[in-house]
Structure 1
Amino acid sequence: MSFLSIPVLDYSLAQEPTKTHFLASLRHAIVNVGFFYLKNTPISPHVQARFVALGQALFDLPIERKLAVEMVHSRHFLGYSRLGAEITNLTQDFREQFDFGTELPPPSPDAPLYHNIKGPNQWPDESDIPGFRVALEEYLAEVSLLGDNFKRLIAEALDLPPTALDGFFDDPQQYKLKLIKYPPPESADSSPSHGSSDVQGVGPHKDSDFMTFLLQATPHTGLEVQNKAGQWISAPPIPDTLVVNIGRALEALTRGVCTATTHRVSLRPENFVDAQGNPLGPRFSFPVFQGICLDLSSDSLALKIPTHIADLVKDEKVKSDAEATFNSVFRGNIGQGTLIARITSHQDVGARWYPDLLAEALKGQKQQKQ
């Protein structure tokens, strides 16, 4: 049956003597839903609160200071994106954002082009926002540790050895952190859908990475998850939780046993007021994306799921969709597919650094729409 709510998992149970119960709940979430809330995480409340405060303050910098680290300056897709600069499903998203990642050196000149996905960040000047870099790196380090633990928990939930997934990750591993601000739609005349109730914060999509760990930093509703019947299920913020979801990479690794679920952010006016009708201001959202090895191809997916776990998935269409993931989304290679996804989402970056790939990708997208 299609899910009608998002399950809540308690991370404090992910150890003996309650680990078996936790793994059963995790198995249900990743096979049948693709989303879950996670409470009692090991992330320090002090670290998280400091990061949230400075993350919100980052958007208050003068526009010229934000443009000094604009993403178009980075071939690694890291930096600032203006309101409306990102595209999902050929439609403009109505959000302003900063992208950061695990601090890594640029790839060598002879590395495949898609290795440029990883590289050094563009940091705002320390004098503009003192302590921001330290706060972000502390938070990212704690979420990264949680993600590393989940590699093993996911494996165990699928009745695999705890280390079964380790070989699918780069060393060093890249985690990507977005800081996103969704203004109330009626407050921004630059929106192409100004005043419209159907303006998208981000359009319907599936994340491309292994897992996503989302902190909904403000009490706004608007995040919606689509079940297998096509219904949109609200995923409102629950205090002291993260929203965790499966990406296409994990779906592909498990040949469709784990579910990458379509989701979106709706900017309907009612999502920007509280229960009494008082305005909530902008919505702030801080997802962390857990990447996997960029060099993986469909030929290198050697993960063998136990039959009794694979048999939990009865929907053959879901399985066949997953089998086509590398062909239609990853183009036979994780890194190449991820690069294509990035340049079509951030077309200003694509036009500057990857113009030929951008032209080819946009042509393919338009053909699929016809």
Structure 2
Amino acid sequence: MVIYFTNQTGNTTDASVSSFTSIPVLDYTQALSPTTKPKFLAQLRDALINVGFLYLQNPPVSVATQDALTQKGFELFRQPLEKKLEIEMVNSPHFLGYSRLGAEITALKSDHREQFDFATELPAPGPDEPLYRNICGPNQWPDETAIPGFRQATEEYLSEVDALSASFTALIAESLDLPPTAMDGVFDEPQQHKLKLIKYPLPPSDQTSDGAGFQGVGAHKDSGFLTFLLQATPHRGLEVQNKAGEWVSAPPLPNTFVVNIGRALEALTGGVCTATTHRVSLRQEYFIDADGKPLGPRYSFPVFQGVSMDLSAENITLVVPDHIRDLVKDDKVKSDAEATFNKMFKTSIGEGTLVARVTSHQDVGQRWYPDILAKALQGQKDFVSKQ
């Protein structure tokens, strides 16, 4: 099943046009039947090439598991500040833990959100491993006596999303006429997934008047392989930019995850799978329901599927068939993907990821990686001065 939504101008269109005005909805159960799987794969290929975003309906993550994470997430945000600060991210060289409101930076501006970062539980790297391996490591867990069952709910959710990510990666490969195991070599074993629990409070009343709304998170493309997003409350705000530069709303839909392509997958496929710019806009009207009643804060829980930190150009063997590559008609997409590939995999993807984390979480960078932070900030200044 594919559902089309109306954009803010009231027009509807098929999602396969180059400047999409809707986000397609794919029913995961169709991928499980031999009779409906070919149709699912065709719809998936269209979403990968022309949109970069999709709703995945009926995902194989149980409603009970989703509800448990949501309720424990709400409890975590209700904790007093001093309890949150017990696991503040600045204490972790692995960029895991609590970030205060406005602490993360996107597109050189502070995001109006507070958040907790958790990930697949992994040991800290050894002293002889590359510095970028510090991206992986043990979590900072909240006090179990304050929120009983939080760790269990989080780890069960990550485990089910891990199974989904494996099956969905195989489906992506098949939709590109590759063997289902074609992308297995681009992941670490065990594979790390990063979960963000994000709270967007009501924005200030004096928000920007440029039509974009207050910045919940600035315009960006995700850097990893895939993102699986649970929109935990009914707020609008997630917006996806099409090739005409228009912003298309991606409101919450019942029993769906929003799935989007990251720059690593785009680079690995030579631009066949497209990473699409998106943002979270915090307009005042997004915080009230249809009856004019306040909705309270917006909550959003994405899981980011990364690729191996050691991945580099010389150990990538993925070759997308020519007849699939020819479906990408935009030469700019191909050239951008090539530039991204060269940048991300020039040495290893881990080095670039570490720099990105340091610049996004500058308090963590200042404490644990001051030399990398100073170099990265100077690079940003040099780039801006040339514009």
Instruction: Bin the TM-score by the shorter chain.
Output: over 0.9
Alignment pair present for 1:287 and 2:302: yes
Alignment pair present for 1:70 and 2:92: no
Q: How does 1:241-320 map to 2 (within 5 A)?
A: 241-320=256-335
**Partner in structure 2 of residue 366 of structure 1:** 381
CA offset digits 1:284-336 (Å, max 9, x no partner): 00000001111111333321110000000011111111111144456542111
Residue aligned with 2:26, SS:
strand
Q: How does 1:119-130 map to 2 (within 5 A)?
A: 119-130=137-148
Whole-Å separation in 2 of the counterparts to 1:330 and 1:200 = 30
Q: How does 1:318-337 map to 2 (within 5 A)?
A: 318-328=333-343, 332-337=347-352
Where in structure 2 are there 5+ consecutive unaligned residues? 1-17
Q: How does 1:210-221 map to 2 (within 5 A)?
A: 210-221=225-236
Give the share of equivalent positions with the same residue, in percent: 68
CA offset digits 1:231-262 (Å, max 9, x no partner): 11000001110000000110011011100000
Equivalent in 21, 27, 34 of residue 10 of structure 1: 27
CA offset digits 1:151-197 (Å, max 9, x no partner): 1111101000111000111001000000000000138xxxxxx5435
Contact 1:204–1:262, Cα closer than 8 Å, also in 2: yes
**Partner in structure 1 of residue 11 of structure 2:** none
Equivalent in 173, 179, 183 of residue 197 of structure 2: 179
**Partner in structure 2 of residue 191 of structure 1:** none
AA paired with 2:208?
S
For normalisation by structure 2, the TM-score amounts to 0.92
Whole-Å separation in 1 of the counterparts to 2:313 and 2:381 = 25
Q: What is the CA distance between 1:51 and its match in structure 2?
A: 1.0
Contact 2:230–2:257, Cα closer than 8 Å, also in 1: yes
Distance 1:330 1:186, change over 3 A: farther
Where in structure 1 are there 5+ consecutive unaligned residues? 188-193
Residue aligned with 1:360, SS:
helix
**Partner in structure 1 of residue 7 of structure 2:** none
Residue aligned with 1:97, SS:
strand
**Partner in structure 2 of residue 190 of structure 1:** none
The alignment of Structure 1 onto Structure 2 pairs a total of residues equal to 364
Contact 2:235–2:287, Cα closer than 8 Å, also in 1: yes
Equivalent in 40, 46, 51 of residue 22 of structure 1: 40
Structure 1 window deviating more from structure 2 (323-332 vs 101-110): it is 323-332
Whole-Å separation in 1 of the counterparts to 2:376 and 2:88 = 23
Alignment pair present for 1:49 and 2:49: no
Equivalent in 55, 59, 78 of residue 60 of structure 1: 78
For normalisation by structure 1, the TM-score amounts to 0.96
Q: CA RMSD of the aligned region, Å? A: 1.2
